[in-house]
Amino acid sequence: MDMDESGEEHSATGEQYEEEIVPKIITDEVFDETIQRGNSVIRDLQMSKQFLIVEDIQKILLVCQNLKQNVSDERDKVEQLKVEVSNAQARTQQAIKASRTDQETIQELKTEIGRIHKENFFINNFKFYHFSEQIWKKSDASALREEIAQEAMNVLREKLEKLQKETYNERSDVEE
């Protein structure tokens, strides 16, 4: 039982006790200090020949060190995934830009074809046919590039979603 400022006794719950002992954020300094304290306790217990307790505390310290390393590894993976996501977003933006450029080219070609049709320029002439055929080939090539870019964007979007899902799952695992 503890005494508060008014002199009344009250009991601290285990929950309050744990909140005071275990910080919400365990920094490297807190971890190192805890390990040092654990080693000190082990030495004291060894001197008093409490070998079973020593063994248990050593196991706990090893588990803590392994968990700290796992957290560090997971943070590294998250950082790596962030870089991959960023790269995927950049490639997606490039594909979108290429797609827009292709759309603009297609629109320009359609406009040019429409203008040529309106003027009835070289309608019966082979040159017009050849020119028109080249324009349509360029238009078809542009449409094909756009389709390829769209497929690339879809693949990148799927990879991005997969990476985001993996990152979320890894974060959930780390939090647990």
Average pLDDT over residues 1-28: 56
pLDDT digit string, tens, across residues 124-174: 555 656 666 777 787 888 888 888 889 888 888 888 888 888 877 877 766
| CA–CA gap between residue 95 and residue 99 (Å, rounded) | 6
pLDDT at residue number 5: 44
pLDDT reported for residue 36? 92
Confidence check: pLDDT of 103 > 80: yes
- Distance between CA atoms of residues 34 and 61, nearest Å: 9
Residue 115 has pLDDT above 60, yes or no: yes
- Tell me how far apart the terminal alpha carbons of the chain are, to the nearest angstrom: 34
**What does the pLDDT read at residue 74?**
92
Mean pLDDT of the chain: 79
pLDDT in tens, 70-92: 988 999 999 999 999 899 899 88
- The domain spans of the chain are 7-175
- In the predicted structure, residue 123 carries a pLDDT above the cut 60: no
Banded pLDDT at 95 (limits 50, 70, 90): confident
Confidence of residue 175 (pLDDT cuts 50, 70, 90): low
Task: Give how far Cα 78 sits from Cα of 75, 90, 165, 166, 168, Å.
Answer: 5, 18, 12, 9, 9
Q: What is the pLDDT of residue 80?
A: 94
Q: How far apart are CA 108 and CA 138, in angstroms?
A: 11
Give, in degrees to the nearest 5, the angle at Cα 102 between 95 and 128.
160
Q: What is the mean pLDDT of residues 42-70?
A: 89
User: Looking at the predicted structure, is the pLDDT value of residue 30 above 90?
Assistant: no
